[in-house]
Amino acid sequence: MSENISDTPGASSFCEIKPERVDIGPFTMVIFGGTGDLSRRKLLPTLYHLCHDQNLPDEYSIIAFASSERSDEEYRDLVKHSVEEFSEGPIHDACWENFSRHLFYMSGNFKDAESYKRLSSRIEEVAKPASGGKREVIYYLAVPPQFLPDIFERLSFCRLCSGKFDARLIIEKPFGRDRSSASALNSLIAKSFEERQIYRIDHYLGKETVQNILFFRFANSIFEPLWNRRYIDHVQITVAESLGIEYRARFYEQAGVVRDIVQNHMMQLLALIAMEPPIGFEADHIRNEKVKVYRTLRIMDSEYIDKHTVRGQYGAGNINGTDVVSYCDEKDTAPDSNTPTFFAGKFYIDNWRWADVPFYLRTGKRMKKRITEISIHFKQPPLRLFRSICDIREPNLLILGVQPHEEIVLHIGVKHPGIGNHLYAVELGFNYEKDLQGDVHFPLPYERLLLDCMKGDQTLFARQDETEAMWAVVDPIIERWKNTPCPEFPNYAAGSWGPDDANRLIGADGRQWRIF
Ligand code: BG6
C-alpha cells in the first residue's frame, strides 16, 4: 500500500499543506465611515483577527475618518466593544494591547479639502514609509454611495493617492444603482485612479466554498466534460436568508432584493458555475471569463420578465419558533412599501456551452432557513430502466453547498437491496467541517479579501467592466418592476420558501425547487 494512504478504515489521509504566510509590507488603512455599522460589525473585528493570527506586519496603522468628534482613546474603546460584540471568540488582552496601539481617529468632513490636508499630515505622522520611500495607503470607503464622488475628488485633489502615497481603494457594494450610475462612477474614478488601484468588494467572493467552485470545476477532469448543455438539464441557485432587514431599512427601501443580492452575489455565483476555464489563475484571466458570461446572459424583455421572474415581500410569520413582523412593520420601512424582498427568475446563457439550459435563481429575506446552495441537475438517463421508489431525491445531482453546510454532495443512483429493481439515490459527499475535522482555519470572507488587497491581488474583486455588465443584466428587471403594479404584497409569509408564484415559475417547466 502506498505510504500516503491510511490503512485505518474510514480514516482520511491528507498531504501536509503548510499554512501560507503572507508577506505584507508596512501600510496605513484609512477607513472612511470608520464608526459605521459595516466597520463595527465586519471590518474592525476582521482587522483584529488578522492581528491575532499574526497576518499583519509590525508596522501598520488604521485611521478611522468620520464626522463625529472623538479622541484616539475613545475610538479604541469603540473598536474594543465592536470586537467583543461581533467576533466569534473572546478578546485576548495581549493581542488587544498590541492591536489598539495601531488605531487612530480623525474627525473630518468628507467634502472639505481642509480635512483631507489634515488627513495627509496624520498619515505622515503615524505611517512608516515602505522600502521605496512611499507610504502605502489603503482607503476603505465604508460609506453610503452618495459620498463616493466627493471622496474620490478630494483624495485626488489633495494628492493623497499620488506623490508620496501609493494608494489602493476598497469600495463597498452597492457600486452604483444601475448601469449608468455605475458607469459614471467608474469614469469618475478613472480620472484620478488606475484600475489596478481599485478593489470593488463583494464578500461572497471571499467565502471559501465560493472560491472552491473554481477549484472543483477545474481540478477534477471527471466533471468538466459533462459541464454543458449535453449533460446538464438545469441549474438552481438559492440564496435564502432567515434574517430580515435588521437595522438597515433606509438602505433596503432604496435597494430591494435585486440590487442587494442578485446584481452582485448571485451574478458572481452564476458566473463561477458558467464560465469557461481561464487560461491562468491571475486576476484578469478569471475576470475576463466572468465578463463573457454576463455578456452572454440573455437580456430579458418586458414580456419575458412578466412571465419568468417573480417578486415578493414578506408578511408576518414564524421562523424557528419566533414570531416576526412583516416587512412593512419593520422599523423605518414605509407602511405601504413596494420594495421587494424576494426574487425568483429563470436565466439563459446564450453560448455554445449553455444554450437552452435554464438557470433558476431564487433569493429572499425571512425565508425558512439560511441556506446558500447551487445544484447542478444532470439529465436523467434517456431510458428509465429502473423503477424509482424515491420521488424526492433524484440521482444525477451535484450540490455545491456554500452555507451553512460547506460541502459538495453528489447524488447517485444505486440498487435498493431486495428482490425488486428499485433505484435509490444515495449521497457521496465532502464536507469541509467533518472531513477536515476542525484542523483547518476558515478565514472569514473579509479576512481573505483584506489580505488580498494588502498583497495587491485583485482576483476576488470586481473589475470595472464586470460591475457594468452585471447591472446590464438586472437593469431591465428593476425597470420593469418599477413600471408595473406589484402583486399584492405581502405575498409570502416569513418562515416560508417564498411566494407560490416561484413554485409555479419552475413548475411550468416540469421541474421543482430542490429545497422547498
Ligand atoms: C449583503 C446584503 O451583501 O449580504 C445583506 O447587503 C445580506 O442584505 C448579506 O444579508 C448576506 O450575506 P451572507 O454572507 O450572510 O450570506
Sequential DSSP letters for 185-223: HHHHHHHH--GGGEEE--GGGGSHHHHHHHHHHHH-TTT
Q: Which of 200, 241, 257 to mutate to test the pocket of ligand 1 (most atoms within 8 A of CB)?
A: 241
**CB distance 202 to ligand 1 below 6 Å:** no
For residues 34 and 143, the answer to whether their CB atoms sit within 8 Å is no
**CB distance 373 to ligand 1 below 6 Å:** no
Q: Which residue's CA is the nearest one to ligand 1's atom 5?
A: 260
Question: Residue 250 C-alpha to ligand 1 middle, in angstroms?
Answer: 16
For residues 210 and 472, the answer to whether their CB atoms sit within 8 Å is no
Q: Report the alpha-carbon distance of residue 450 to residue 27 in Å, rounded.
A: 12
Q: Report the alpha-carbon distance of residue 343 to residue 258 in Å, rounded.
A: 7
**CB distance 260 to ligand 1 below 6 Å:** yes
**CB distance 241 to ligand 1 below 6 Å:** yes
H/E stretch holding 445 reads: helix 445-455
pLDDT on residue 436: 76
Q: Report the alpha-carbon distance of residue 53 to residue 39 in Å, rounded.
A: 19
pLDDT on residue 438: 64
Burial track 32-51 (b if 16+ CB lie within 10 A, e otherwise): bbbbbebbbebbbbbbbbbb
For residues 502 and 344, the answer to whether their CB atoms sit within 8 Å is yes
Question: Residue 247 C-alpha to ligand 1 middle, in angstroms?
Answer: 13
H/E stretch holding 424 reads: strand 422-431
Question: Residue 380 C-alpha to ligand 1 middle, in angstroms?
Answer: 34
pLDDT on residue 281: 87
Q: Which of 203, 314, 365 to mutate to test the pocket of ligand 1 (most atoms within 8 A of CB)?
A: 203
pLDDT on residue 247: 87
**CB distance 172 to ligand 1 below 6 Å:** no
Q: Which residue's CA is the nearest one to ligand 1's atom 4?
A: 261
Q: Report the alpha-carbon distance of residue 215 to residue 222 in Å, rounded.
A: 13
pLDDT on residue 5: 44
Residue of 454, 470, 450 lying closest to 462 (CA atoms): 470
Atom of ligand 1 nearest to the CA of 445: 14
Q: What is the chain's length? A: 516
Letter for the amino acid at 255? Answer: A
CA atoms 321, 325, 331, 333: torsion sign = positive
pLDDT on residue 151: 93
265 an active-site residue?
Answer: yes
Residue of 43, 135, 119 lying closest to 87 (CA atoms): 43
**CA distances for 358 relative to 233, 235, 370, 412, angstroms:** 8, 6, 24, 22
**CA distances for 162 relative to 28, 134, 152, 216, 434, angstroms:** 14, 9, 13, 41, 48
Pairing of strands 387-388, 314-315: unpaired
Question: Residue 261 C-alpha to ligand 1 middle, in angstroms?
Answer: 7
pLDDT on residue 77: 96
* C-alpha cell of residue 302: 418586458
Question: Residue 169 C-alpha to ligand 1 middle, in angstroms?
Answer: 22
- When computed from its CA atoms, the radius of gyration of the chain, rounded to whole angstroms, is 25
The pair phi, psi for residue 317, each rounded to 5°, is: 180, -160
Atom of ligand 1 nearest to the CA of 243: 10
**CA distances for 171 relative to 18, 75, 152, 355, angstroms:** 32, 22, 11, 34
DSSP assignments along 467-506, one per residue: HHHHHHHHHHHHHHHHHSPPPSS--EETTBSS-HHHHHHH
Q: Which residue's CA is the nearest one to ligand 1's atom 2?
A: 260
pTM of the model: 0.92
Residue ranges and CATH numbers for the domains of the chain are 27-172 (3.40.50.720), 205-507 (3.30.360.10)
> Which residues are 483's β-sheet partners?
none
Q: Which of 102, 203, 234, 265 is flagged as catalytic?
A: 265
Tens place of pLDDT for every residue, the chain, 516 residues? 334 444 444 444 555 666 666 678 899 999 999 999 899 999 999 999 999 999 999 999 999 999 999 999 999 999 999 999 998 788 999 999 999 999 999 999 999 999 999 999 999 998 877 777 788 999 999 998 889 999 999 998 888 888 888 999 999 988 999 999 999 999 999 988 999 999 999 999 999 889 999 999 999 999 999 999 999 999 999 999 999 998 899 999 999 999 999 999 999 999 999 999 999 989 999 999 999 999 999 999 999 999 999 999 999 999 999 999 999 999 999 999 999 999 999 999 999 999 999 999 999 999 999 999 999 999 988 766 666 555 556 789 999 999 998 899 999 988 888 877 778 889 999 988 788 766 667 788 999 999 999 999 999 999 999 999 999 999 999 999 999 999 999 999 999 999 999 999 999 999 999 998
Q: Which residue's CA is the nearest one to ligand 1's atom 8?
A: 260
Letter for the amino acid at 292? Answer: K
